Structure formats: C-alpha cells, structure tokens
C-alpha cells in the first residue's frame, strides 16, 4: 500500500510549487475574510431586525437610504459583492491546488464560478436604488419625485433579479464541484469535502427557495435550516482557508490517505 500511496502524495505535493505560494496565501486570506464577512452579516442582520428597518414601499426605501444608507445597502445585499470579489482569488487558488488530481473538474469549476460572479455583480441593483434615492431627496418638484419614485418601483420590481439568482447558483455549483474534487486530493480533509458537498447542495435548494419567498413568509423550520447551513459554510471556508495557508508556507504533507478507489 505504501507504494500505491506515493504517486498520490507526490502529485499533491507538486501543487504547492514556490511560484504559487503567493496565490495560496491570498486565497487563504480571502477565505478568512469571507468568514468575517458572514459573521458581520449576522451582526448587521440582528441590528436591522432590532430596529425594524424593513422597508415595504418605495418611500420606505428612500427614507431608509436617506437616514441610514449603510443599512439600506445591506438590505439589498450590496455587501455580498465583497464576498463575490473575494471568491475570485479563493477559487483560483483552489483550482491550482487541485490541478494534479482533478484538473478538468477544477478548471470547469473555476470557469463556472467566474461566470457566476460576473452575473451576480452585474445584476445587483442596490447602487441604482441608492442613486435614485439621492436624486429623490435632491429634487425640488413633485413631478420629478414622482418620476424618480416610478423608476425606483421598476428597480424594486426586479427583486433579486435573474442575473443575481443565476449568478449565486453558479457560484454555489462551482463550490460544490470543488468540494467533490477535494475528495480525490490528500491535501484536504475528508470532512471538509463532505461538509462542502452537503452545504452547497443545500445552498442550491435554498437559493431556489429564496427566489420564491421572503423573510416574512419563511417557516420556522426553514429559518433553522438556514442557520445550520450558515454554520457549515463558516466551517467549509475556514477549513479550506487553513489548507491554503498551509500550502502557502510549503507544508504539503498529506492530511489523510488517498481514497481507496484511487488505489
């Protein structure tokens, strides 16, 4: 069995060549920043709910942006743009780490992920609505305000938008494929792969559900499920970040034995 393990060990070790250590470091730091972003979202969410900043009309949105634009942007998921930007080096570093064991899957995964990021960023309407709010409060005539309010109604009617939903699904699908590929690499813990497969499969279902419902219509069971999923996301990003940081320091010793189906 020792002789069978050696090719896998050498193959994984090649994934941490000196020229790629900077990419692994950036990817690892991005993973931890994503974890911090999710934790920050939880805090902001509690604040938003405690102050009952939950606009239902266009005028409510304008009032919120006028009084507290940060919370307005949070309600429209602008901070998720930070997550998307951080995913770029994160995905690229995972792709590089898997190139010797699952090259085709890794390249396809990063391609799907990058397309999803572009779709999500281009489909976010938070900046557009904030700009309309600023123009609304700067307008001096009722006619101008009515026109701006109508424009905002159109933006709000788009909701999450097809681009945002498709982009988010593609990003989660990319992460799911990476998690499957991690099963074939001895650089990643098996628990990391299993958690990633579970949480990203659930993530696709959640996104489809959220596109058809709101926070007000969610059941208690769904809210609990979202909480558990969020914890698994934190674990997955953290554990992958640890692996990437290990590789950035040249520590490429396998953390487990190769899968039996590769023997």
Distances from the Cα of 37 to the Cαs of 2, 30, 43, 126, 227, in angstroms? 42, 10, 10, 18, 15
CB 175 within 8 A of CB 200: yes
Residue with tokens 């590769």: 262
Rounded to whole angstroms, the Cα distance separating 84 from 110 reads 13
Model confidence pLDDT, tens digit, residues 220-241: 666 677 778 888 999 999 999 9
Instruction: Reply yes or no on whether the pLDDT at 6 is more than 90.
Output: no
Taking each helix axis from N to C end, the angle separating 142-157 and 126-138, rounded to the nearest 10 degrees, works out to 170
SS3 category, 185: coil
Domain locations in the chain? 2-262
Model confidence pLDDT, tens digit, residues 40-82: 776 656 555 555 556 667 777 777 777 777 777 766 666 778 8
Q: What is the DSSP letter of 102?
A: S
């Amino acid at each position: 069995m020792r002789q069978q393990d050696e090719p896998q060990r050498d193959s994984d070790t090649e994934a941490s060549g000196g020229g790629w250590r900077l990419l692994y470091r950036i990817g690892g730091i991005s993973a931890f920043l994503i974890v911090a972003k999710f934790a920050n979202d939880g805090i902001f969410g509690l604040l938003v709910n405690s102050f009952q900043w939950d606009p239902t009309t266009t005028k409510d949105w304008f009032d919120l942006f006028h009084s507290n634009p940060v919370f307005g942007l949070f309600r429209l998921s602008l901070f998720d743009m930070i997550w998307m930007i951080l995913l770029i080096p994160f995905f690229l570093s995972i792709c590089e780490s898997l190139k010797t064991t699952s090259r085709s899957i890794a390249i396809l995964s990063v391609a799907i992920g990058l397309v999803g990021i572009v779709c999500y960023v281009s489909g976010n309407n938070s900046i557009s609505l904030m700009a309309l709010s600023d123009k609304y409060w700067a307008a001096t005539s009722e006619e101008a305000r009515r026109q701006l309010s109508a424009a905002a109604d159109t933006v709000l009617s788009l909701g999450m938008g097809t681009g945002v939903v498709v982009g988010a699904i593609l990003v989660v699908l990319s992460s799911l494929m990476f998690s499957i590929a991690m099963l074939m690499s001895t650089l990643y813990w098996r628990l990391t792969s299993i958690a990633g497969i579970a949480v990203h499969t659930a993530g696709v279902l959640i996104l489809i559900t959220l596109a058809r419902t709101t926070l007000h219509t969610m059941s208690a069971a769904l809210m609990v499920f979202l909480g558990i999923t969020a914890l698994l996301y934190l674990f997955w990003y953290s554990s992958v970040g640890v692996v990437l940081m290990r590789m950035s320091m040249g520590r490429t010793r396998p953390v487990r034995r190769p899968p039996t189906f590769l023997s």
